[in-house]
Amino acid sequence: MNFEEYVAKSLILAPAGIAVPRGQLCTTPDEVAVAVRSIGPAVIKAQVATGKRGKAGGIRFVSTPPEAERVASAVLGMTIGEYRVERLLVEEQAKVAREFYAAVLNDAQERKPLILFATEGGMDIEEIAAANPDAIRRLPIDIDDTPSAADGRVVALDAKFVLDDSAAYRQEEIAKLAALAPMTALERLAAEHGLKFIQLDGNVGVLANGAGLTMTTMDVIRHYGGRPANFLEIGGEAYTKSEIALDLVLSNPGIKSLVINFCGAFARTDVMADGVVKAWKELKPSIPVFFSIHGTGEEEAIALVRESLRIEPYESMEDAIQAAVRVAQ
Amino acid sequence: MIVRKSDKVIVLGITGRQGTFWTDKMLAYGTQVVAGVNPKRAGEYHCNVPIFASTADAVRETDGSVAVMFIPPSVARHAAIAAIESRIRLLVVLTEHIPAQDVMAVLAAAARHGTRVVGPNTAGLVTPGECFVGIMPAFVPSVFKPGRVGVISRSGSLGTLICLKLTQAGVGQSAFVGIGGDPMLGTTSRDALEALDRDPATDAVVIVGEIGGTMEEEAAEYAKTMNKPIAAFIAGAASPPGKKMGHAGAIVLGNRGSYASKRKALEAVGVIVVDTPAEIVPALAIRDLGK
Q: Looking at the structure, tell me whether residues A162 and A129 fall in a common domain.
A: yes
Q: Which of B98, B100, B155 is facing A106, going by the closest CB pair? A: B100
Q: Which of A108, A130, A213 is facing B157, going by the closest CB pair? A: A213
Q: Among A122-131, A185-194, A235-244, A260-269, which is the least confidently predicted range?
A: A122-131
Q: What is the CATH number of the domain that holds A274?
A: 3.40.50.261
Q: Looking at the structure, tell me whether residues A221 and A289 fall in a common domain.
A: yes
- Name A92's Cβ contacts closer than 8 Å, sequence gap at least 6: A21, A22, A23, A39, A40, A41, A42, A43
Q: What is the CATH number of the domain that holds A56?
A: 3.30.1490.20
Q: Looking at the structure, tell me whether residues A34 and A85 fall in a common domain.
A: yes
CA distance B139 to chain A (A): 8
C-alpha A37/C-alpha B271 separation (Å) is 64
Q: Which of A125, A171, A260, A294 to mutate to test the interface with B (most CBs of B within 10 A)?
A: A294
Residue B171 pLDDT grade (very low, low, confident, very high; cuts 50, 70, 90): very high
Residue A243 pLDDT grade (very low, low, confident, very high; cuts 50, 70, 90): confident
pLDDT of residue B242: 79
Contact B246 A210 (CB under 8 A): yes
Q: Looking at the structure, tell me whether residues A267 and A155 fall in a common domain.
A: no
pLDDT of residue B176: 98
From A39, A60, A92, give the residue that closes a domain: A92
Given a cut of 90, whether residue A142 has pLDDT beyond it is no
Residue A82 pLDDT grade (very low, low, confident, very high; cuts 50, 70, 90): confident
Taking the model in full, what pTM does it have? 0.92
Q: Looking at the structure, tell me whether residues A142 and A167 fall in a common domain.
A: yes
Residue limits of CATH 3.40.50.261 in chain B: 140-285
Residue A108 sits in which domain range?
Answer: 101-175
Q: Looking at the structure, tell me whether residues A190 and A164 fall in a common domain.
A: no
ipTM (interface pTM): 0.90
Contact B245 A211 (CB under 8 A): yes
Q: How many CB atoms lie within 10 A of CB A143?
A: 6
Residue A308 pLDDT grade (very low, low, confident, very high; cuts 50, 70, 90): very high
Give the per-residue SS3 of B51-67.
Answer: EECCHHHHHHHHCCCEE
Contact A267 B233 (CB under 8 A): no
From A51, A73, A92, give the residue that closes a domain: A92
Q: Looking at the structure, tell me whether residues A165 and A245 fall in a common domain.
A: no
Given a cut of 60, whether residue B291 has pLDDT beyond it is no
Residue A126 pLDDT grade (very low, low, confident, very high; cuts 50, 70, 90): low
Contact B277 A216 (CB under 8 A): yes
Total count of domains within chain A: 3
Residues of A within 8 A of B75 (CB-CB) are none
Q: Looking at the structure, tell me whether residues A218 and A124 fall in a common domain.
A: no
Give the per-residue SS3 of A264-301.
Answer: ECCCCHHHHHHHHHHHHHHHCCCCCEEEEEEECCHHHH
Residue pairs between chains A and B whose CB atoms are closer than 8 Å: 173
pLDDT of residue A149: 61
Given a cut of 90, whether residue A134 has pLDDT beyond it is no
Q: Looking at the structure, tell me whether residues A317 and A193 fall in a common domain.
A: yes
Q: Could you read off the pLDDT of B227-255 as tens digits, one per residue?
A: 999 999 999 999 988 788 777 777 776 66
Tell me the percentage of chain B whose pLDDT exceeds 90.
Answer: 91
**B247 classed as catalytic:** yes
C-alpha B176/C-alpha B143 separation (Å) is 11
pLDDT of residue A99: 82
Decide if A3 is inside a domain: no
Report yes or no: B180 and B113 within 8 Å, Cβ to Cβ: no
Chosen CATH of B8-118 out of 3.40.800.20, 3.40.640.10, 3.40.50.2300, 3.40.50.720: 3.40.50.720
Residue A141 pLDDT grade (very low, low, confident, very high; cuts 50, 70, 90): very low
Q: How many CB atoms lie within 10 A of CB A61?
A: 12
Q: Among A48-57, A138-147, B267-276, which is the least confidently predicted range?
A: A138-147
Show the CA angle centred on residue A47, arms to residues A45 and A51, nearest 5°. 90
Report yes or no: B122 and B180 within 8 Å, Cβ to Cβ: yes
Q: Looking at per-residue confidence, does A96 or A91 come out higher?
A: A91
Given a cut of 70, whether residue A136 has pLDDT beyond it is no
Q: Scanning every residue of chain A, which has its alpha carbon at the shortest distance from the alpha carbon of B212?
A: A108
Decide if A1 is inside a domain: no
Mean pLDDT score, A247-271: 92
pLDDT of residue A131: 63
Decide if A223 is inside a domain: yes
Given a cut of 60, whether residue A143 has pLDDT beyond it is no
Q: What is the DSSP string of B97-159?
A: ---HHHHHHHHHHHHHHTPEEE-SS--EEEETTTEEEES--TT-TTT--EEEEEEEES-HHHH
Decide if A9 is inside a domain: no
CA distance B60 to chain A (A): 30
pLDDT of residue A150: 63
CATH code of the domain made up of B140-285: 3.40.50.261
Report yes or no: B128 and B30 within 8 Å, Cβ to Cβ: no
Closest-CA residue to A22 (of A36, A8, A4) = A36
C-alpha B253/C-alpha B244 separation (Å) is 10
> Helix, strand, or coil here: B160?
helix
Instruction: For residue A201, give the DSSP letter.
Output: S
Q: Which of A126, A210, A231 is facing B155, going by the closest CB pair? A: A210
Residue limits of CATH 3.40.50.720 in chain B: 8-118
Burial (CB count <10 Å: 0-12, 13-18, 19+), residue B94: buried
Q: Looking at the structure, tell me whether residues A207 and A292 fall in a common domain.
A: yes
Report yes or no: B259 and B234 within 8 Å, Cβ to Cβ: yes
pLDDT of residue A242: 86
| pLDDT mean across residues, chain A | 89
Q: Which of B156, B213, B254 is facing A127, going by the closest CB pair? A: B254
Residues of A within 8 A of B181 (CB-CB) are 211-212
Q: Could you read off the pLDDT of B147-165 as tens digits, one per residue?
A: 999 999 999 999 999 999 9
Contact A233 B136 (CB under 8 A): no
Q: Looking at the structure, tell me whether residues A158 and A200 fall in a common domain.
A: no
Please give the C-alpha separations between residue A78 and each of A62, A65, A89, in angstroms, as whole numbers.
18, 20, 15
C-alpha A259/C-alpha B52 separation (Å) is 46
Residues of B within 8 A of A123 (CB-CB) are none
Q: Could you read off the pLDDT of A19-33 as tens digits, one per residue?
A: 999 999 999 999 999
Q: Could you read off the pLDDT of B83-106 as tens digits, one per residue?
A: 999 999 999 999 999 999 999 999
C-alpha A289/C-alpha B242 separation (Å) is 30
Q: What is the CATH number of the domain that holds A113?
A: 3.30.470.20
Q: Which of A48, A106, A109, A111 to mutate to test the interface with B (most CBs of B within 10 A)?
A: A111
Decide if A4 is inside a domain: no
Q: Looking at the structure, tell me whether residues A230 and A203 fall in a common domain.
A: yes
Given a cut of 60, whether residue B289 has pLDDT beyond it is no
Mean pLDDT score, A205-213: 93
CA distance A209 to chain B (A): 7
Burial (CB count <10 Å: 0-12, 13-18, 19+), residue B76: buried
